[in-house]
Amino acid sequence: MLTLDSAPRILFVDNQVDDFVQYRLTLAAKLRQCGFDVHVALPEEDGFDEIAEQGITVHRFHIRRMSLRPQDELRTLVTLLHVFRRVRPTLVHHFCLKPALYGGLAARLCDVPSAVSTFTGLGYLFTAQTTTVRMLRAMTRTALRVSFRHGNHVAVFQNHHDRSRFVHEHVVPAKRAIVINGSGVDLSVFRAQPEPDGPPVVLLASRLLWEKGIAEFVGAAGILRRRGIAARFVIAGEPDPGHPSAIPTETLHTWRETGDVEWLGWRDDIAGLIAASHVVCLPSYYGEGIPRILIEAAAAGRPIIGTEACGSSEIITHGENGLIVRPCDSAALAEAMATLINDGTLRRMMSRRGQAIATEKFSLETVIDTYCAIYRSVLHQHAARQMLVTKI
């Protein structure tokens, strides 16, 4: 655990209140226990009270995750500059692409001593291939290079592919690019339980975007239905409003009406849904870090299926705790599903191995300790520079 001689001020910058509460609040609370003065900058959304109850000071700034309007982007930078100048953090930690981009620029302009940026996945901007997106991607890379010219700014990625891409494209120096195993999973919440009775259930829980492989999942379910395999194929989630790849609600209703899949809509009882399933699947070809649902499922003792196109290989060891298939291939996905549906012994073996992997590499405590080590490193680097300046 991080120990400090003084009380540095850390400012978290995130693009959604719900994400901060779900994935970062425990980290922030731990830092308060270590003596940090903890602040967070978030957009104007419900949920501030839960954060403030932890003793964390909340600051509002403007951000529109899916907006490409220049006035929105400029307003994001300007409002972050105001927050940084008011808070005067010793260390700022950005989560996701836009906070890393504009927060990194603000950190340079405000002379913030230390910065960390976590990319939880490169997302639509780095995966789509339209002419407009390619132009925006080139502009974003250039701006990120400027951001990472801050001499004490570390980039954190959730899979090795994303790290390699940013290093290869000269966005961030290799010595300041680190891989961390996701956001951490609470092993007290996601714990192994016996498989439920009844026909096997294959669960997909996700934001309902095309790149998550939802259509491929529906196609695979149809293939197995026609083969007479007795199983349930369940989708939990809802479209992401405003996202360019959101699946239309009408399409989801049509899929449900065909009888191949069950669409539950948005659910907040993910641990319960996993416990009620036999296999958890996310056939994404989206620019993810490490799919959180697959980490949670492994911790809960469920075999998992992912693709080789994103961070699934960081959590899945093929044939040990799950199966990896080609992306955008309903037939290959159907075969993987059938393998696990038909073999209870294999599922139990993968269950045990998945729990071991999740406990060893992906526990919340492990991730928090790793972040604390990064904070210690950048703070000590700043202190060393200050001592050198004083001597000169």
Beta bridge partners of 323: 305
Residue 219 CB partners (closer than 8 Å, separation 6+) = 330, 333, 334
pLDDT at 28 (0 to 100): 92
pLDDT at 10 (0 to 100): 96
Q: Which of 226, 22, 31, 339 is nearest to 42 (CA)?
A: 22
Cα 270 to Cα 303: distance, rounded to the nearest angstrom: 16
Residues found in the chain: 392
pLDDT at 134 (0 to 100): 86
Which domains, and CATH codes, for the chain? 9-182+363-391 (3.40.50.2000), 201-361 (3.40.50.2000)
The answer to whether the CB of 124 falls within 8 A of the CB of 287 is: yes
Lowest mean pLDDT among 29-38, 81-90, 198-207, 217-226: 29-38
Average pLDDT over residues 121-137: 79
* pLDDT greater than 60 at residue 135: yes
* pLDDT greater than 80 at residue 43: yes
Q: What is the pLDDT of residues 154-179, one digit of tens each?
A: 999 988 889 999 999 999 999 999 99
* pLDDT greater than 80 at residue 363: yes
Q: Which of 308, 321, 249, 238 is nearest to 279 (CA)?
A: 321
Q: How many CB atoms lie within 10 A of CB 331?
A: 12
Q: What is the pLDDT of residues 219-276, one digit of tens each?
A: 999 999 999 999 999 999 998 777 788 999 999 999 999 999 999 999 989 999 999 9
* pLDDT greater than 70 at residue 383: no
* pLDDT greater than 80 at residue 7: no
* pLDDT greater than 60 at residue 391: no
The answer to whether the CB of 208 falls within 8 A of the CB of 252 is: yes
Q: What is the pLDDT of residues 298-332, one digit of tens each?
A: 999 999 999 987 678 889 999 999 999 999 999 99
* pLDDT greater than 80 at residue 384: no
